């Protein structure tokens, strides 16, 4: 991917919220290795992780800013003279959200509102917010907070008024071998000879960290303001994944956890009237009156069929065990994992 195709990264100041997380670190490494921004700011709340990242990535264009997206005043300070924001900060664990709902609302919803206000008032050019498949027809608190966040970022394009700030959202599935992923968990479980699964029918969307980073950077190029970008990625049955990781293990089934879905959705039927298909992605357009419905069609987007849905159990693209092994081997965040 040519990062300089439409975005002048070399003359831009970029800020990444949640920059010390799995995605944030991978994004920073990618930018520094390809086309370093004039200034690349890591905004996060964990001083220890920032220190460790500083020691690992020594680059003259890298800056570290300690803060929390719940702190509106701190965001105003951090966003001074920034051109592009990648918003990756969030509370993400589904079970934790069910038992700590107010904390998730404060970070995922009120934090999003703070970012929007600060971005508009500071004249940020582009903001790309990371979402999740769990925001589509949510049944858990985490998904509900991210849906709310997505709505805020879409509507922020009209809320911005005369400001030139553009807001876009990226929605994708599970990242292979990232923190909290089931893959490292299964790798640890297989030492006991028993893998505990929730439901043998369960399916999930999967992509590597590198694929996620490349997709987000491409969306920075393409965002017009208000779109939800969805990559075309493969699905895999949880049972197939478990057999690949622990082929000689026994399997136990414990039932789905609070707020968990059997299958994940990236484009629900309810959003299909506004969804366009491209070669490598789907783009859900805003339903607001200010949106130019011809904008993406001019770029080659084709309307999806009536009643279309993009769900992990009805996907045309499936990962095999061999495919998973190859992706794990390619993933920079999984260098210590060996499936076989």
Helix (H) or strand (E) holding 237: strand 235-237
- pLDDT attached to residue 4: 42
- pLDDT attached to residue 223: 95
- pLDDT attached to residue 305: 96
What is the Cα–Cα distance from 153 to 151, expressed in whole angstroms? 6
The whole-model pTM stands at 0.92
- pLDDT attached to residue 169: 98
Which residues in the chain come in under a pLDDT of 50? Answer: 1-4, 332, 334-337, 340
Whose CA is closest to 216, among 86, 311, 38, 110?
Answer: 86
Whose CA is closest to 197, among 127, 155, 256, 269?
Answer: 256
All structural domains of the chain: 9-173+208-232+265-311 (3.40.50.720)
Instruction: Give catalytic residues, as residue numbers.
Output: 134
- pLDDT attached to residue 35: 87
> What secondary structure does DSSP assign to 26-86, as a single string?
HHHHHHHHH---SEEEEEES-HHHHHHHHHH---TTEEEEE--TT-HHHHHHHTTT--EEE
- pLDDT attached to residue 113: 98
- pLDDT attached to residue 180: 66
- pLDDT attached to residue 162: 83
């Amino acid at each position: 991917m040519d990062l300089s195709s439409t975005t002048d990264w070399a003359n831009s100041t970029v800020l990444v919220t949640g920059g010390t997380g799995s995605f944030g670190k991978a994004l920073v490494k990618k930018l520094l290795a390809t086309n370093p921004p004039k200034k690349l700011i890591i905004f996060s709340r964990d001083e220890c992780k920032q220190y460790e990242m500083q020691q690992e990535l020594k680059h003259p264009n890298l800056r570290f800013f300690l803060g929390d997206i719940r702190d509106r005043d701190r965001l105003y300070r951090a966003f001074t003279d920034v051109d592009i924001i990648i918003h990756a900060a969030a509370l993400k664990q589904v079970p934790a959200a069910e038992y700590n709902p107010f904390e998730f609302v404060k970070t995922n919803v009120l934090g999003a509102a703070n970012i929007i206000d600060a971005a508009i008032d500071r004249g940020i050019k582009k903001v790309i917010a990371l979402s999740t498949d769990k925001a589509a027809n949510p049944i858990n608190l985490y998904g509900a907070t991210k849906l709310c966040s997505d709505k805020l970022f879409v509507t922020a394009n009209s809320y911005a008024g005369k400001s030139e700030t553009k807001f876009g959202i990226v929605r994708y599935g599970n990242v292979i071998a990232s923190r909290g992923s089931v893959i490292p968990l299964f790798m640890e479980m297989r030492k006991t000879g028993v893998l505990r699964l929730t439901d043998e029918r369960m399916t999930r969307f999967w992509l590597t960290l590198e694929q996620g980073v490349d997709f987000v950077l491409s969306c920075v190029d393409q965002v017009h303001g208000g779109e939800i970008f969805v990559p075309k990625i493969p699905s895999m049955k949880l049972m197939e994944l478990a057999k690949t990781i622990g082929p000689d293990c026994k399997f136990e089934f414990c039932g789905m956890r609070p707020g968990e879905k059997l299958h994940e959705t990236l484009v629900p039927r309810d959003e299909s009237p506004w969804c366009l298909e491209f070669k490598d992605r789907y783009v859900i357009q805003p339903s607001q009156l200010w949106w130019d419905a011809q904008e993406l069609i001019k770029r080659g987007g084709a309307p999806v069929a009536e009643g279309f849905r993009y769900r992990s159990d009805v996907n045309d693209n499936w990962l095999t065990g061999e495919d998973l092994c190859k992706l794990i081997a390619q993933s920079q965040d999984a260098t210590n994992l060996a499936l076989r």
